[in-house]
Structure 1
Amino acid sequence: MKLLIWNCRGADNKVFKRTMKELVQTHKPSILVLMETKVELSSLGQFFNKMRFTASSHVDSVGRSGGIWVLWDPFRATVKPLEVNAQFIHAKVQRDNFEDWILSAIYASLNRRNRDLLWANLEAIADNMTSPWLVAGDFNDIASLSEKRSFSTNISQARTQKFNARMNRCNLMDLGCSGPHLSWSNGRQGMANTLERLDRAACNSEWRLAFTEGAVRNLPRTYSDHSPMVVYT
């Protein structure tokens, strides 16, 4: 199974639709996770139906900001939502002849206090988690100094330490990635350019044992400032 996970920075435009079709045709994902969609899913229902994707789990945007969608090919998998809020969709993934597992699709807020609420929720989930668990998306945080390249701003070691402590409290291990290591760019040129690894997938030991060949590949950025990410189980 493949999951295509992408902070697409707006889904209601021709470039998104063309890019989405190309990504689906090339990588053939069973599950799509889209963030920062900026529109309601209902406006694109027909577009996704033509590609055989359905959805019952989504957080629509507020005005022109936010939004998380989880869509899936019903011939390959079933996704059942368990908990939904503005920063994550927590769902059970089911597939014939395979063990059920849990997906938490993350779109972490830029606001520090809101991110604290996200991690409090994830820690509460982790305390009772016995199933294989994958947590993936845009965390809006970095785990080490090597995950940021910038000429104009300082890198906060306290920020990376806090992020790693949270991952540890949730018993999550980073799956790493191939392809472009730094998944987000501010789009500026020269000395003003900043790159960070804001997008990642992490899992608990049960997911790692269930999917021993699980891996992540970051794809080149297109019109969005974030790279699409493919998770292979």
Structure 2
Amino acid sequence: MLGGIWILWDEDNIKIHAIEMQKQYIHCEVEGVGARKWMFTAIYASPRERERKDLWENLKEIAKRITRPWMLAGDYNDIRDSDEQTGGGQENYAKWRRFSENIEECLLLEVSTEGPKYTWKGPVIGHARRLYKKLDRVLCHADWRNIFCEAQVQIGPRLQSNHHPLVIHITHPTMQQKCQALSL
């Protein structure tokens, strides 16, 4: 599998502790962003469906035992519906349903993004139109979203990759009490 997982941050007071590292994800504890520690899982899902199934089995196990706010981000190598793809071949409703069911089973919400609709540019095969998909996204538990309600996800410019990077802006929790009151 090409590519990999990078976790980058720009504050000296932020501490990220890797708890579990697998081929398709790095599960971490984050300290120094917000009033309490929270969990972050960086995803780089396999293009092979069988391996993605293993990823989701692992994520479901993490979801069962997690007790802190949780955010996941990265390349899931799947889409939820036809609106997340243009060009390419046949639609696969069963595959889309499985992806959505996995997200729901882990009690995850999608964080909306700003920028290009599609995060991945595929090849042109034969005379078909180039394939574009939204493979990259940010998911979270409701408790993470309540704490970081001002968080924004920007789809960055695609440079040397066929993917656009995800840039997650998490504001310092000075607005935390106001945000929590608005979510009640």
Same fold per superposition (TM over 0.5)? yes
- Whether the 8 Å CA contact 1:187–1:225 is kept in 2: the answer is no
Deviation string, structure 1 residues 30-85 (Cα, Å, up to 9, x no partner): xxxxxx7xxxxxxxxxxxxxxxxxxxxxxxxxxxx343233444613110011001
- Structure 1 gaps of 5+ residues are 1-35, 37-64
Report the CA distance shift for 1:114/1:206 in structure 2 as closer, same or farther (over 3 A): same
* Root mean square deviation of aligned Cα: 1.9
Quick one: which of 101, 104, 108 aligns to 1:165? 101
Count of aligned pairs:
169
Quick one: which of 60, 72, 76 aligns to 1:123? 60
Relative to the length of structure 1, the TM-score reads 0.68
Once residues 232 and 97 of structure 1 are traced to their aligned partners in structure 2, the CA distance between those partners, rounded to angstroms, is: 13
Pair 1:178-2:118 in alignment: no
Report the CA distance shift for 1:116/1:213 in structure 2 as closer, same or farther (over 3 A): same
Quick one: which of 137, 146, 150 aligns to 2:74? 137
Q: Extract structure 1 runs of 4+ deviating beyond 2 A.
A: 65-74, 187-192
- Structure 2 gaps of 5+ residues are 171-184
| Residue identity in the other structure for 2:109 | M
Q: Which residue of the partner structure matches residue 5 of structure 2?
A: 68
Relative to the length of structure 2, the TM-score reads 0.85
Q: Which residue of the partner structure matches residue 204 of structure 1?
A: 141
Pair 1:99-2:36 in alignment: yes
Show the 5 A alignment for 1:14-93: 65-73=2-10, 75-93=12-30
Quick one: which of 90, 99, 109 aligns to 1:154? 90
Q: Which residue of the partner structure matches residue 175 of structure 2?
A: none
